[in-house]
Amino acid sequence: MYTAPTTGGEVLTPNDAVKVLEELLPAQNQSYELGLRLNLKPHEISEAHYKACLYAGLCVSGSNAEVMPAQWEYQVGPCPGTAMGDELWISRYILHRVAEDFGVIVTLDPKPMPGDWNGAGGHCNFSTSRMKAENGMKVMEEAIQRLEKRHKEHIILYDPSGGVDNSRRLTGLHETAHIDQFFWGVAHRGASIRIPRGVAQG
C-alpha cells in the first residue's frame, strides 16, 4: 500500500502522484518524516483500513510501516486455501474506499517511486500439513524445486503486464532477487523464497 495526497480535491494519477512526491521528498534514503511534511498521518489510514476489514468480517492480522515514505503493508490471513485470494481482493477494495475518506489515492504499483527506493511487492506466506509435519523442510525444498522449474512462466503470470512492471522492482537491489534469478534462503530478505528461521530450525 502506498499513499499519495490529492491536490485541490482532484484525484491524481499514479504518475502525477509521483511528481508531487518527488518535489516534497528529501534526497533518497535520507531520514524523513513524510507524515509531518505533508500533514498526512499514514498510520491513521492504515488503522482505519484495518478496522474496516475487521468490521467486514475479513481475516486481517496486522499492519506495519514499510521502507518508503507513506508506504504501509497489511497482512491478510491466516486463511484456508483459496479463501486468501477472495479476502485479499475485498481488502483492497476496502482500502481504496477508506483512502477516499482521507483524500489520498493508493497505488499497488510494484515500484511507485523510481530510483534508490524500495519497491512494493506482495509476499505470500503459505504452508501445507506436510510442511508442518516431521521432515517438513524436505517437503518445502521439493516444492521450491518445482517452483524453480517454472520461474519465468510464473513471473509473467504474477504481473498483469506480463513481467514488465515487476522488472522495475526485481533488480537484485532493495531486498529483492533479480527477476531472472530464482533462489531461496533461510531468513534471507533478498531471496525469491524466504523460509523463516524458526521454521527452518523446526
pLDDT of residue 9: 43
The answer to whether residue 188 sits within a structural domain is: yes
Pair 96, 133 in one domain: no
Pair 91, 181 in one domain: no
Mean per-residue pLDDT, 84-113: 93
Pair 40, 91 in one domain: yes
Grid cell at residue 70: 507513506
Pair 58, 90 in one domain: yes
Mean per-residue pLDDT, 117-139: 92
Q: How far apart are the first and last CA of the chain?
A: 32
Grid cell at residue 55: 468490521
The answer to whether residue 121 sits within a structural domain is: no
Q: How far apart, in whole angstroms, are the C-alpha atoms of residue 152 and residue 187?
A: 23
Q: State how far the alpha carbon of 34 is from the alpha carbons of 6, 14, 45, 158, in Å.
A: 15, 18, 14, 30
The answer to whether residue 122 sits within a structural domain is: no
Residue 114 in this model has a pLDDT that exceeds 80: yes
Output the pTM of the full model: 0.78
Centre a 10 Å sphere on the Cβ of residue 89 and count the other Cβ atoms it contains: 11
The answer to whether residue 15 sits within a structural domain is: yes
The answer to whether residue 151 sits within a structural domain is: yes
If one counts the domains in the chain, the total is: 2
pLDDT of residue 152: 95
pLDDT tens profile 55-90: 999 999 999 988 888 889 999 999 998 999 999 999
SS3 assignment, position 42: helix
Local confidence band at 147 (pLDDT 50, 70, 90 cut-offs): very high
Pair 138, 88 in one domain: no
Residue 186 in this model has a pLDDT that exceeds 90: yes
pLDDT of residue 34: 44
Q: How far apart, in whole angstroms, are the C-alpha atoms of residue 91 and residue 73?
A: 12
- CB under 8 Å to 105, separation ≥6 — which residues? 3, 4, 6, 11, 12, 14, 17, 99
Q: Over the chain, what is the mean pLDDT?
A: 85
Q: How far apart, in whole angstroms, are the C-alpha atoms of residue 136 and residue 97?
A: 41
Q: Find the domain containing 177 and state its range.
A: 129-200
Local confidence band at 170 (pLDDT 50, 70, 90 cut-offs): very high
pLDDT of residue 67: 85
pLDDT of residue 42: 85
**Cis peptide bond prior to 160, omega within 30° of 0:** no
Q: State how far the alpha carbon of 153 is from the alpha carbons of 48, 150, 158, 176, 180, in Å.
A: 37, 5, 9, 18, 11
From 74, 107, 140, give the residue that closes a domain.
107
Give the best-scoring range by mean pLDDT among 36-50, 88-102, 119-133: 88-102
Pair 151, 98 in one domain: no
Between 122 and 138, whose confidence is greater?
138
pLDDT of residue 69: 80
Residue 12 in this model has a pLDDT that exceeds 60: no
